[in-house]
C-alpha cells in the first residue's frame, strides 16, 4: 500500500481584536473520511484534524489516506482542493468583500473575498453565498508536476450562512477544472456562520474534475472531544470525512483539523499521504482531504465579499483566494439560498527534473481554479476544481446531518456527517465521500475500558525483537469487531504478527491491517469474553528494512533520532512505535519483563519497587514518550514538586555529577522565573551519538520525555557550548512539555525562540557564559536571523533560523521594550508567568493572540503592531534600536571570511594531525562556533604561535602550536557579520536593564 502526500490545504483564519483577558477559544475535532465509487467500490479512508479558534479554522491530515493506487491527491479527495495541511488561512475575519490575504509555503497563496452570489446545488439553492477566491502560484514539491499544476490555479469557494461550503470550482494551472457542490447536509442548530462547526454537523458533496470524469460523494462529519467544546470552543474539533461512490460504496476516510479564532479559520488534513482505492486506472481520493492538503488558507475571517488573499502552497505554488459572493446553490438534496462562494486560483506549481511521473501528473492537478460553496449551518455543499491540465473535479453534498444547530460554514458538532458525490474527467462513475466529525485523536477505534500491556525483552544479543501482550477490555460488551491503531500514523513498520484472543478461547483471529497503522479484528458473532489478549512482536530489523525500502521508493527519510535504535547496549524506543491502542482509555498499566541487571526509564508512575511496573495517566502519555531499556545509569534531580529523571548511557555516564549539577541549577533558576514548577516526573535520556562525527548537540521532546544527544566531553573548559543547550532542554519542561503548548505552528518561534533566549541569559547568570560569550551568542543569533529574514516571516515557521534565532531576538526585543517602558520593574519573565498561569498544562493551548494579550498586559502598552510587523510580516527587526535600550551598539557588516575548509586545513597542519578537531578556545578565549573561529582566522599570520584547546580521545587537550599553511590570500566567502559592543556612554536605566538581564546587581 502506498501513502501519498496531500496536495491542497484549506485553512480558515479569523482575526480577533477582543480586549478581554480570556484565552482565545479553541476547538479540535477529527474528521473520518470514507471514499467510494457509485458502483460500490471502496477507495479508502482517512482521518483529518479540524482546529478552530476565534481567529481561524483549518484542516490538516492526521493519518494517511488508505489507497491502493497512485492517483494525484487532488483527484481523489475533494477537500484536498479546499483544506490546508499547514497553517494557512481559509477565512480571515471579518469577512468583507474585497478583503485579501496572502500565505506562503513552497508557493504563494492569495485569497480574496469577492462578493456574494446565489449558488444552486443538489442540496438546494443558497442565497447570498460568500464567494471566496484563491490564486495559487509557484507551487513546488518533490512529487509530480501534475500535483504542482493542480495546486497552482484559481479556486473559488462559495459559503452559505447556516450551511457551510456549498460549492467549489478549482481552475488548476494545467487546465483541469474541479467542481464540487453540496448535495446534502445537516446542521444541528441554527448558525449564522459560513462554516458551521457544531458537533454533529454533516455535509455531503458531489464533485468531479474533467481529468478522470468520475463523480465522488464526500461526506463530512463534525466531531469533538466533549459536549463543552461546542459552546466554549475548547478541546478537540475535527471533521471526519468519508468518500464514497454514488451507489454508496466507501472509497476512503480522512480526518481534518479545524482551527478557528476571531481573526481566521483554517482547515488542515491530519496526514500528508492520502490513499484511496479506485476501479479506474488512476484511483480517486477525498474532496475533504483536498480541502486540507496545502498551506494556503481556506478562510480568513471575517468572511467579506471581495476579500482576497494570496498564500504560498505546495510545490512553490501561489494560491490566490477570493470570497466572491453569496449565492444560492441548488443541488440534488435541495437549494441553499445563501452560500459563501470561495474561489482559489493555484498557479506556479513546479517539480524538479528528478521528480517521478506521478509528481508531474499531480502538479498538473494542483494548478487551476477551485470554487467552493459553503452553506451556513451545513458546511461545504459544492465544489468545482478546474485543474490546469483540463481536468475538472466537481462535488456536491448529497446528504448531511448536523446534530443540534450551527451558524458556522463548517459545523463541528460531534457526529456531524456529510456525504458528497463527486466526479472528474479521470472517473467515468461518481465517487461518494462520507465525512464524519468525531472526538479528536480517537478516530473510529474501539474505546477501551482498560488496557494492560506486558513488554518482554527475550534476547539481549542481538537486541532486535520484543514481545508485547496487551489485555484489552472494550467499553461496550458484545462487539463484533475490534479496531485498533498505532499512534505513529502509518508507521507500523516495526510491528509483526498481530493476533487477538478472547478469555477462554485461544483462537480469536488474526488482525487485518487496514493501512495507516490501523487493524481490524472481526469475530463471527458478538464477543463477550473479556479481556481480549492482543499479541504482537516488535522487530527492529524488520522496521529498519521497511524504512530503507520506503526511503528508496518514495524519497521519505525520517530523522533517525526519532526512530527505534540500539546504542551502548540500550534500546531507545519511542512508545508511539510500541503500543497498539484503542479509541480511548485512561486506565492503563504497563509492565516490562527484562533480563537480569536491566532497567527501564520512563516518566510514568512506578508501582512498588520490585518490578518494572507502571501506571500511565492516559493514552496520550502512553504513546507520546521515549523509553530507554537496558543497562544504564538512572538518577533523579528535584526542585520543589518537579522531578527530572536522568537516564544516562554510554560514555556520558562518567559525567553524571556534571549533568546532575547543571540540570539542577537550571531547574532551580527556571522555577524562580515561573514561581514554581510542574508536578510529577519528566524524563531526560542523555547519551552520545552512535557514530562519532563533528561535535553535535540535539534534543527532541515527546510528551514528558526528552532524548538528548551530545558528542562533547563535559567539563568547565567547554561548558559554554553544552550548558546553554542543556538549559534549553530544561526550559522546555515549562515551555512545551508539561505546559505552554502552541495551538499552531505559527507560535513555534515562542516555543523555541523564547526558550533559546532564556537558556542564554540564564547561562550567563549561572556563570556558564561570560558577558562577552553571551554577546557572541547574540551576534551569532543575529547573523543567522539576518541570513533568511527577507525570505520568510518568523511566524511562518519555515526555517529553524527564524524560529530559534529570530524567535530569540524577538524575545530579547520584547524583554528590552518592556524593561524600558516599565523602568526595569517589569520584564519578559512576567509575561512567561502570565502565560504559564493560563496555559500551564497540556489541556489548554495558546495562540499568538494569547501571547499578544499577555505581553500587552505586562508592558502596559499595545504591542500588536510589533507582532504584525516583525513576526507576521517580514520586516526585519531593528536590532540596533532595541539593543540600544540596554546600552549596546549593533553593527552589521558584510565581510570576507576564510572558508571552513581553509581553517580546518591550517589547524590540521599546525597540530600535525590527520583529522580535524573542534577548537573550544584559542589563546585563552573560548570559541562558541566555527564562525567565531573563522573571524579570528582572518588575522592569522604564518609562524604565529597560538594556544589551542580541543577534545581528543574524550579528554580536553591544550597545546601551543605554530600556525602552518596560512595563506596571505586564503579562499573566502562573503558573510554577514554582526558586532555587538557596549556603548561608550550609557544611562542609569540602560545599565540597569543590561544588569537585570544578565543577573548582575
d(CA 580, CA 487): 7
Q: What is the pLDDT of residue 853?
A: 95
pLDDT tens figures, 54-90: 777 777 776 656 654 445 556 666 777 776 544 567 8
Which of residues 919 and 708 earns the better pLDDT score?
A: 708
Percentage above 70 pLDDT, the chain: 82
Q: What pLDDT score was predicted for residue 272? A: 40
| pLDDT tier for residue 146 given thresholds of 50, 70 and 90 | low
Q: What are phi and psi of 861, to 5 degrees?
A: -155, 165
Give the confidence band of 529 by pLDDT, cuts at 50, 70, 90: confident
Q: Report the DSSP pairing between strands 972-982 and 705-710.
A: unpaired
CA–CA distance, 237 with 228 (Å, rounded to integer): 11
Answer with the residue of higher pLDDT: 673 or 316. Answer: 673
**Roughly how many angstroms between the first and final C-alpha of the chain, as a whole number?**
64
Tell me how many helices (H) and strands (E) the chain has. 21, 59
- What proportions of the chain, in percent to the nearest 5, are helix, strand and coil? 25, 45, 35
Poorest-confidence range of 283-297, 737-751, 968-982? Answer: 283-297
Question: Considering only 441-455, 557-571, 635-649, 940-954, which range has the smallest mean pLDDT?
Answer: 557-571
Half-sphere exposure in the Cβ direction for 941 (13 Å, CA): 3
Phi, psi of 904 (to 5 degrees): -65, -45
| Helix extents (H) in 201-329 | 228-232, 287-290
Q: Which residue has the cell 463530512?
A: 220
Q: Which three cell numbers stand for residue 398?
A: 448529497
User: What average pLDDT does this structure show over 593-622?
Assistant: 91
pLDDT per residue as tens digits for the range 402-451? 999 888 898 989 999 999 988 887 765 678 888 898 877 666 788 899 99
Min mean pLDDT across 400-409, 561-570, 753-762 is at: 561-570
* Model confidence at 274: pLDDT above 80: no
* pLDDT tens column, 689-746: 877 666 678 999 999 999 999 987 788 888 999 999 999 999 999 999 998 999 888 8
Of the listed ranges 37-41, 815-819, 853-857, 904-908, the one predicted with least confidence:
37-41
What pLDDT shows up at residue 644? 97
- Reduced to 3 states, what is the DSSP secondary structure of residue 940? coil
Q: Which residue has the higher pLDDT, 289 or 255?
A: 255
Separation CA 520–CA 523 (nearest Å): 10
Q: DSSP letter string over 834-867?
A: HHHHHH-STTSEE-HHHHHHHHHHHHTS--HHHH
The full set of domains in the chain, from first to last, is 11-16+28-439 (no CATH), 448-629 (2.60.40.3650), 633-737 (1.10.390.10), 743-887 (1.10.390.10), 900-970 (2.30.42.10)
pLDDT surpassing 80 at residue 538: yes
What's the rounded Cα separation, in Å, for the pair 647 and 683?
7
Predicted pLDDT of residue 932 = 87
User: Cα–Cα distance between 664 and 197 in angstroms, integer?
Assistant: 46
In this predicted structure, the answer to whether residue 379 has a pLDDT above a threshold of 90 is yes
Handedness of CA 643, 649, 652, 656 (dihedral sign): positive
pLDDT of 293? 47
Determine the pLDDT at residue 145: 57
Strands annotated E in 475-587: 479-486, 495-502, 505-510, 512-515, 518-527, 532-539, 565-567, 570-574, 580-581
73, 9 Cβ separation under 8 angstroms: no
Q: Tens digit of pLDDT for each residue in 248-263?
A: 777 777 777 777 777 8
pLDDT at 1: 28
Strand partners, 890: 980
Q: Which are the contacts of 301, defined by CB distance < 8 A and separation ≥ 6? A: 12, 13, 14, 15, 55, 56, 91, 92, 93, 94, 95, 260, 261, 262, 263, 264, 265
Largest separation between any pair of C-alpha atoms in the chain: 89
Alpha helices, H only, 884-958: 900-911, 930-937
Range in 33-42, 249-258, 438-447, 900-909 with the lowest mean pLDDT: 33-42
- Using CB atoms within 10 A of its CB, is residue 976 exposed (0-12), middle (13-18) or buried (19+)? middle
Residue 136: strand, helix, or coil: strand
* pLDDT for residue 86: 45
Question: Which distant-in-sequence residues (6+ apart) come within 8 Å of 475 by Cβ?
Answer: 446, 447, 448, 449
Closest CA to 561 of 456, 745, 697: 697
Instruction: Confirm if 372 and 155 have CB atoms less than 8 A apart.
Output: yes
> Residue 329 — very low, low, confident or very high, per pLDDT cuts 50/70/90?
very high
Distance in angstroms (rounded) separating the CA atoms of residues 244 and 776: 60
pLDDT of residue 76: 61
Look at 404 and 21; give whichever has higher pLDDT.
404
- Contact indicator for 383, 288 with CB cutoff of 8 Å: no
Element (H, E) at 665: helix 656-673
On the question of pLDDT at 239 being above 80, the answer is no
Kindly report the average pLDDT of the chain as a whole number.
82
Report whether the peptide linkage leading into residue 4 is cis, meaning its omega lies within 30 degrees of zero.
no
- From the list 822, 826, 980, 816, the residue with the least C-alpha distance to 882 is 816
How many Å apart are CA 396 and CA 402, to the nearest integer? 17
pLDDT band at 573 (very low <50, low <70, confident <90, very high): very high
* pLDDT value for 65: 62
Pick from 564, 639, 636, 627: nearest CA to 599: 627
Higher pLDDT, 644 or 501: 644
- pLDDT bin (cut points 50, 70, 90) of residue 39 is very low
Angle between helices 807-821 and 754-765 (to 10 degrees): 70
Amino acid at each position: 500500500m502506498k501513502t501519498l502526500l496531500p496536495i491542497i490545504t484549506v485553512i480558515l483564519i479569523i482575526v480577533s481584536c477582543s480586549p478581554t483577558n480570556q484565552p482565545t477559544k479553541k476547538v479540535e475535532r477529527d474528521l473520518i473520511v470514507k471514499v467510494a465509487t457509485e458502483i460500490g467500490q471502496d477507495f479508502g479512508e482517512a482521518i483529518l484534524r479540524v482546529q478552530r479558534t476565534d481567529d481561524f479554522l483549518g484542516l490538516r491530515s492526521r493519518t494517511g489516506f488508505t489507497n491502493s493506487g497512485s492517483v494525484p491527491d487532488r483527484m481523489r479527495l475533494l477537500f484536498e482542493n479546499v483544506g490546508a495541511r499547514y497553517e494557512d488561512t481559509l477565512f480571515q475575519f471579518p469577512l468583507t468583500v474585497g478583503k485579501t490575504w496572502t500565505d506562503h509555503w513552497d508557493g504563494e497563496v492569495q485569497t480574496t473575498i469577492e462578493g456574494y452570489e446565489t449558488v444552486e446545488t443538489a442540496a438546494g439553492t443558497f442565497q447570498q453565498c460568500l464567494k471566496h477566491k484563491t490564486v495559487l502560484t509557484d507551487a513546488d514539491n518533490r512529487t509530480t508536476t501534475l500535483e504542482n499544476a493542480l495546486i497552482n490555479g484559481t479556486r473559488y469557494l462559495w459559503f452559505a450562512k447556516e450551511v457551510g461550503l456549498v460549492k467549489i470550482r478549482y481552475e488548476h494551472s494545467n487546465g483541469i477544472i474541479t467542481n464540487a457542490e453540496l448535495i446534502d447536509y445537516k446542521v444541528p442548530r441554527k448558525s449564522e456562520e459560513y462554516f458551521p462547526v457544531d458537533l454533529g454537523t454533516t455535509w455531503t458533496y458531489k464533485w468531479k474534475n474533467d481529468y478522470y470524469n468520475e463523480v465522488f460523494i464526500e461526506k463530512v462529519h463534525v466531531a469533538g472531544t466533549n459536549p463543552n467544546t461546542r459552546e466554549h470552543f475548547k478541546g478537540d474539533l475535527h471533521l471526519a470525512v468519508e468518500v464514497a461512490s454514488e451507489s454508496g460504496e466507501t472509497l476512503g476516510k480522512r480526518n481534518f483539523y479545524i482551527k478557528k479564532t476571531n481573526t481566521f479559520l483554517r482547515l488542515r488534513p491530519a496526514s500528508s499521504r492520502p490513499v484511496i482505492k479506485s476501479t479506474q486506472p488512476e484511483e480517486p481520493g477525498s474532496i475533504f482531504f483536498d480541502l486540507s492538503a496545502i498551506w494556503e488558507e481556506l478562510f480568513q475571517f471575517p468572511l467579506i465579499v471581495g476579500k482576497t488573499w494570496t498564500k504560498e502552497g505546495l510545490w512553490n505554488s501561489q494560491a490566490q483566494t477570493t470570497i466572491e459572493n453569496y449565492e444560492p446553490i441548488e443541488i440534488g438534496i435541495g437549494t441553499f439560498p445563501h452560500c459563501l462562494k470561495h474561489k482559489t486560483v493555484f498557479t506556479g506549481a513546479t517539480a524538479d527534473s528528478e521528480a517521478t511521473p506521478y509528481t508531474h501528473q499531480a502538479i498538473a492537478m494542483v494548478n487551476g481554479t477551485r470554487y467552493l460553496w459553503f452553506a451556513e449551518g451545513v458546511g461545504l455543499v459544492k465544489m468545482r476544481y478546474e485543474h490546469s491540465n483540463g481536468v475538472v473535479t466537481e462535488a456536491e453534498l448529497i446528504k448531511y446531518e448536523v446534530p443540534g444547530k450551527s451558524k458556522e460554514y463548517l459545523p463541528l458538532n460531534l457526529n456531524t456527517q456529510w456525504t458528497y458525490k463527486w466526479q472528474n474527467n479521470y472517473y467515468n462513475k461518481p465517487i461518494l465521500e462520507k465525512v464524519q466529525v468525531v472526538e479528536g485523536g480517537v478516530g473510529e477505534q474501539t474505546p477501551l475500558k482498560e488496557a494492560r500491556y506486558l513488554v518482554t525483552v527475550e534476547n539481549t544479543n542481538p537486541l532486535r525483537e520484543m514481545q508485547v501482550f496487551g489485555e484489552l477490555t472494550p467499553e461496550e460488551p458484545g462487539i463484533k469487531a475490534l479496531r485498533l491503531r498505532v499512534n505513529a500514523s502509518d508507521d507500523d513498520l516495526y510491528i509483526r504478527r498481530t493476533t487477538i484472543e478472547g478469555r477462554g478461547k485461544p483462537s480469536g483471529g488474526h488482525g487485518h491491517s487496514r493501512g495507516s497503522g490501523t487493524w481490524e479484528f472481526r469475530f463471527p458473532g458478538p464477543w463477550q469474553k473479556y479481556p481480549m489478549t492482543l499479541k504482537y512482536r516488535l522487530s527492529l530489523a524488520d522496521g529498519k528494512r521497511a524504512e530503507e525500502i520506503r526511503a528508496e521508493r518514495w524519497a521519505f527519510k525520517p530523522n533517525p533520532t526519532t526512530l527505534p535504535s540500539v546504542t551502548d547496549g540500550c534500546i531507545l524506543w519511542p512508545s508511539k512505535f510500541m503500543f497498539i491502542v484503542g479509541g480511548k482509555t485512561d486506565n492503563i498499566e504497563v509492565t516490562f519483563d527484562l533480563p537480569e541487571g536491566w532497567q527501564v526509564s520512563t516518566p510514568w508512575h512506578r508501582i512498588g519497587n520490585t518490578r518494572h511496573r507502571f501506571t500511565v495517566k492516559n493514552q496520550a502519555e502512553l504513546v507520546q514518550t521515549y523509553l530507554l531499556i537496558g543497562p544504564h545509569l538512572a538518577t533523579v534531580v528535584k526542585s520543589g514538586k518537579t522531578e527530572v529523571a536522568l537516564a544516562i548511557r554510554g560514555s556520558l555516564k562518567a559525567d553524571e555529577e556534571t549533568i546532575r549539577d547543571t540540570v539542577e541549577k537550571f531547574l532551580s533558576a527556571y522555577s524562580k522565573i515561573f514561581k514554581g514548577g510542574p508536578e510529577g516526573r519528566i524524563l531526560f535520556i542523555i547519551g552520545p551519538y552512535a557514530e562519532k562525527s563533528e561535535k553535535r548537540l540535539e534534543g527532541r521532546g515527546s510528551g514528558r520525555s526528552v532524548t538528548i544527544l551530545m558528542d562533547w566531553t563535559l567539563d568547565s573548559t567547554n561548558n559554554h557550548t553544552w550548558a546553554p543547550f542543556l538549559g534549553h532542554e530544561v526550559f522546555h519542561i515549562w515551555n512545551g512539555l508539561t505546559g505552554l503548548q502552541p495551538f499552531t505552528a505559527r507560535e513555534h518561534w515562542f516555543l523555541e525562540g523564547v526558550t533559546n533566549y532564556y537558556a542564554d541569559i540564564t547561562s550567563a547568570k549561572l556563570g556558564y557564559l561570560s558577558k562577552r560569550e553571551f554577546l557572541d551568542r547574540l551576534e551569532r543569533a543575529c547573523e543567522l536571523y539576518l541570513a533568511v529574514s527577507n525570505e520568510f516571516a518568523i511566524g511562518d515557521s519555515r526555517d529553524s533560523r527564524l524560529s530559534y534565532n529570530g524567535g530569540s531576538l524577538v524575545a530579547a526585543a520584547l524583554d528590552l521594550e518592556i524593561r524600558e517602558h516599565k523602568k526595569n520593574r517589569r520584564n519578559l519573565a512576567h509575561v512567561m508567568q502570565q502565560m504559564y498561569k493560563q496555559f500551564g498544562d497540556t489541556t489548554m493551548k495558546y495562540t499568538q493572540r494569547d501571547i499578544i494579550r499577555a505581553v500587552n498586559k505586562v508592558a502596559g502598552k499595545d504591542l500588536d503592531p510589533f507582532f504584525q510587523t516583525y513576526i507576521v510580516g517580514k520586516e526585519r527587526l531593528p536590532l540596533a534600536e532595541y539593543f540600544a535600550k540596554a546600552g549596546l551598539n549593533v553593527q552589521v557588516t558584510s565581510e570576507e571570511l576564510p572558508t571552513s575548509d581553509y581553517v580546518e586545513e591550517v589547524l590540521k597542519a599546525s597540530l600535525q594531525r590527520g583529522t580535524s578537531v573542534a577548537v573550544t578556545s584559542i589563546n585563552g578565549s573560548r570559541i562558541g562556533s566555527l564562525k567565531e573561529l573563522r573571524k579570528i582566522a582572518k588575522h592569522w599570520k604564518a609562524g604565529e604561535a597560538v594556544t589551542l584547546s580541543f577534545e581528543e580521545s574524550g579528554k580536553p587537550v591544550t597545546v601551543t602550536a605554530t600556525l602552518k599553511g596560512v595563506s596571505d590570500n586564503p579562499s573566502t566567502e562573503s558573510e554577514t557579520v554582526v558586532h555587538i559592543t557596549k556603548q561608550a556612554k550609557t544611562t542609569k536605566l540602560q545599565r540597569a536593564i543590561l544588569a537585570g538581564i544578565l543577573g548582575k546587581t
